[in-house]
Structure formats: structure tokens, C-alpha cells
Amino acid sequence: MPKIHRTSRGVPVAEPSVRGLLAPEVAASSAASGNPSAIEAGVEPKGVKEILEESNKVDMYYMCRAYSEENRPGYHANEDRFYCEEHVRRRESEQVDMFIVGVLDGHDGAMAADMVADQLPSVVFNQCFLDKKKVHEAHVTAFEEIEKGLLKTGSTAGCCANSCVVWGRYLWCANLGDCRAVYIPLNSFDGSTFDTGAFCWMSRDLKATAPYEVERIRSCGWRVSDGRVEGLEPTRTIGDFDVKAKVPKGVISIVPETRMIDIIAEGRKKEKDARSVQGILVQGTDGIWDCVSGQDILNIIKTKQKSVRQLQQYLATAGKDFDPEHQVASVLERIAGDVVTLALTKGSSDDCTVILTCVSVGTPAAGG
């Protein structure tokens, strides 16, 4: 199974109805096409300075674990990859102010997925903290740089990417292709019952069977044939130069669709006076989502609610003695393993990878 990369230590089943802010360049076309059907516009910080100010006002702790299995028939080695890396606010405190976590679905070999896993986190960090770019812009630049490097290798490998960033109180998801991410707000760990808030689907499938992508491709002067573009199903990828050479520039795009939510605002829809809120971010490759629904994942989480509450409590009360390798995080790997097993049981024949991240964001005061 691929290793996690570290620097330091309703429930829709088909196209998700995403609640969150779309990146400016995709918002108009997505709203016009009617997908997603219900968009609640979040309020994104105006600039990096404002985000930095916000991140200094909150304490954020997280744990992530992953599970991956190669395709059941064994046609090829596992081409999925995943990563989780963090940015430390101040070296003397080791307080994390941003982390990036993602899943990658490689095809025609794993070279593209390997390059993204190795390079994307550091490029995004540099773009945000040194060049003062916002998260969407940072991903656009990172994907461009990585693809230029991949082109020099002569490889025809490609990959889809679902990359999520938590920075202060905000969660962004930059998506290329047909991996998916969903954020599940959790109620208080000391509540009388275990409950979750409304699912926040952070991405939707960007592939040749999606009407909004068919429309985009036609606007680029090309066509979709039998649900594919020159044999390729995902319509936004890194690499795939053999396909990109046959079509006009931009048909197979490297510009992600990016969405964000305010984690604290989402959590306080259930717990209005909560000083800290927790939630679980689930990211998976299409081998998962071809067979597993959001309701399936929620059912699995509920079977482990006692352990999930213990994890919530640990993160909510974390301080200078926080241990990112604490055994309390093992529940995330167990959930991830159950999700992959369910996908395989239901007949998935693709590589199956899921990464779960439990994040806790707290403010100094309840109204912070």
C-alpha cells in the first residue's frame, strides 16, 4: 500500500449537490448548467492577509489515515497515491496553520501520480506563503509546473487529483477528474447522541459523461464520443499527453474546480455555542465512488461512533502534548479499510483508495 507523505510528524449517490463556493472561473458555467442543483455561496476571505489573520485566531489539530487496495483482477500494480503534509506556523511552537491532503488516481502508469504526490504540497505551500496566492491560484500554478516537468520525461501517464487544504478555519478542495471529497460535520463529542451535520460534497465528477463538462468541451471546439474524449473518460487531468496532442488546448484541462467552506460555520449549524468543532473529510478515488454511496460511509462511521468520539475529544482538548501518531487515530484507518472492503465487495474492479482526515478547529471564545 502506498505510504502517506508527511513533512513532520441528504446523501446524494450520483452527482453531488455541492454546498460551498466555486472558484470564480467555474461558478457561472456551473450555475448556468444547473449542476450542482443547490449552491450556497460561502464567503471566502478577500486575500491571503485576511486568511493569515484568521488562522492566528484559531487552534487547528488534525489526524489522517488512509487505506488502499490494488484492482481486484490484478491487471497492474496499484496506480493510486495519496499524501498528507503540513505547514507549521512558528517553528518554536510547532502549531500547524495549514495542511494539505489528497488522493490521486493514476492511469497508464503511476509516474504522473508519483510526481504530483511528491511535488504538489511544497509548491502549494510556497505559492500561498511566499507568493501570497490564494489556494485555487496556488493549485493552478502547481498543476502547471508539475505538468511541465512530466512532459520532459516523455511519459504518457496521467492522473486525476483531489487536493484539499485546511488553512485556519477554512477548507478548500481543488479537483481534477473523478475522485471525490465530502466533509461531514460532527456534533459535540460529549453530546447525548452521535449525530452529523449535512454532508458537504466538496467536489463533483469532471468527466466526459457529465453534462457540464460536455458543454465545456464543446465550447473548446471538440466533442465527446461514447462518453470519452479520444478514449479518455476524465476531462481534467495531469499528463495524458498522447490524448492532449489530438485535441485543442484546454479540452483536457489542468484547471481544477475549487470549492471552500467555513469549518466553524458548518459545525455551529449543529452546535451554535461550540468553542471547537470537528468533522471528518473523506477523499476517495473513483474505484470507491463507483460502488459506495455517502450513506454507506455514514453507516460505517456510525458503527465506530464510540471511537470517533474519543478521537474528537482528543483533538478538541489537544495542546502542546499533541501526538499526531496517537493510537486514537486508528479508528480512521479502520473506517477507511471498511470503505475499501465494501467497494470491493460491491464489485469495484479498479484501484480503491480512501483517506480520512478528522479535523478540529477551535476559537479562543465561543463567538470568535
pLDDT digits (tens, 9 = 90+) for 297-307: 999 999 999 99
> What is the 3 state secondary structure string of the chain?
CCCCCCCCCCCCCCCCCCCCEECHHHHHHHHHHCCCCCCCCCCCCCCHHHHHHHHCCCEEEEEEEEEEECCCCCCCCCCEEEEEEEEECCCCCCCEEEEEEEEEEEECCCHHHHHHHHHHHHHHHHHHHCCCCCHHHHHHHHHHHHHHHHHHHCCCCEEEEEEEEEECCEEEEEEECCCEEEEEEECCCCCCCCCECCCEECCCCCECCCHHHHHHHHHCCCCCECCEECCECECECEECHHHHCCCCCCCCECCCEEEEEEHHHHHCCCCCCCCEEEEEEEEECHHHHCCCCHHHHHHHHHCCHHHHHHHHHHHHCCCCCCCCCCHHHHHHHHHHHHHHHHHHHCCCCCCEEEEEEEEEEECCCCCC
Query: Interior CA angle at 59 toward 54 and 65, to 5°?
Result: 115
Angle separating helix axes 294-302 and 330-345, nearest 10 degrees: 130
Distance (Å, whole) CA 260 – CA 102: 15
Nearest partner of 36 among 200, 256, 177, 185, judged by Cα: 200
Average pLDDT, the chain: 84
136-160 per-position pLDDT tens digit: 999 999 999 999 999 999 999 999 9
The CA–CA distances, whole Å, from 239 to 73, 127, 176, 228, 313 equal 25, 21, 12, 16, 42
pLDDT score for 320: 77
- Taking 50 as the threshold, does the pLDDT of residue 367 lie above it? no
C-alpha grid cell, residue 339: 470503505
Q: Does the structure show a pLDDT above 50 at 272?
A: yes
pLDDT of residue 43: 54
pLDDT higher than 80, residue 279 = yes
What are the domain boundaries of the chain?
Answer: 47-200+262-357
352 Cβ partners below 8 Å, 6+ apart?
68, 69, 80, 284, 285, 287, 288, 340, 343, 344
Closest CA to 98 of 128, 57, 130: 128
Give residues with Cβ within 8 angstroms of 320, minimum separation 6.
none
Residue 105 scores a pLDDT above 70: yes
- Model confidence band, residue 198 (pLDDT cutoffs 50, 70, 90): confident
Is the pLDDT reported for residue 314 higher than 90?
yes
pLDDT in tens, 56-98: 788 889 999 999 999 888 789 999 999 999 987 666 556 788 9
Matching CATH number, 47-200+262-357, of 3.60.40.10, 3.90.226.10, 3.60.15.10, 1.10.730.10? 3.60.40.10
Examine the pLDDT at 274 and tell me if it is beyond 80.
no
Q: What does the pLDDT read at residue 62?
A: 95
Residue 90: what pLDDT?
Answer: 63
